[in-house]
Homo-oligomer: A and B are copies of this chain.
Amino acid sequence: MTITITAFERSPDRGRGLARDSRVRWALEEVGQPYKVRFLSFQATKEPAHLALHPFGQIPTYEDGDVALFETGAIVFHIAERYAGLLPDDAKARTRAINWMFAALSTVEPPILERQTAVIMESDRPWHKERLPLVDDYIRVRLRQLSARLGDADWLDGAFSAGDLTMVSVLIRLKSSGLLDEYPNLAAYVARGEARPAYKRAFAAQLADYNASRQS
């Protein structure tokens, strides 16, 4: 059964690993599953063929001949349920790891997405300069709380899990903002994620794909 995911043929982040296919690549590397990538132009993601697979016209999607999924969090969860390595065997610990997946996407990521929207969509608006520090403060509320919970632990709840994979992937988006550096234990947490061999393979693969796209 071949796993095929979609990604941008030329990632708008210029190979920094911020596009969401990186999360799925990372999950697949953690569980040791090979995958193929089908590349799409930005335009192609908005066309009927792709919208049939992904109603919101985004990447990545996931197909394994059995199921077709379109939402990154659900794809990572599906991989974690199907293959060993991303969720604890113990039922209670598994439930708590899933709790952290949802927390990353539903509580920590929204203000980070709001910052991204401000930078991409509103940087030429007259309010941008004055408003961005407010958005940064919305993010700081979450970072401060997350930092307090993490403390000096390596991962959020015992061993590395899909919860950490998701949370680290969400926080990585903040690297260029400098906000992460205000919370040294969170910066170290992200660095621990990036140091995992599976993350390195995933990052290298998306960067190689980006570099190949520039030569074509």
Chain A residues in the interface with B (C-beta under 8 A): 51, 55-58, 66-67, 69-74, 77-78, 92, 95-96, 98-103, 105-107, 109-111, 113-114, 117, 121-122, 125-127, 130-131, 134, 138, 142, 145-146, 148-149
Q: Which label, helix, strand, loop or mixed, suits the secondary structure of the A interface?
A: helix
Residue of A103, A111, A125, A149 ringed by the most chain B CB atoms within 10 A: A103
B55 touches A74 (CB 8 A): no
The chain B residue with its CB closest to the CB of A108 is B56
Known: A69-B96, A106-B109. 5 other contacts (CB 8 A): A55-B146, A55-B149, A70-B99, A71-B107, A121-B134
What are 16 contact pairs spanning A and B, CB under 8 A?
A: A55-B146, A55-B148, A56-B142, A58-B107, A69-B95, A71-B99, A71-B103, A72-B102, A74-B98, A74-B99, A74-B102, A77-B98, A106-B109, A111-B117, A114-B117, A117-B138
Given A55-B148, A96-B67, A121-B134, also A106-B106 (CB < 8 A):
yes
Residue of A99, A102, A105 ringed by the most chain B CB atoms within 10 A: A102
Give every chain B residue within 8 A of A98 (Cβ-Cβ).
74, 77-78
Given A57-B145, A110-B110, A121-B134, also A74-B101 (CB < 8 A):
yes
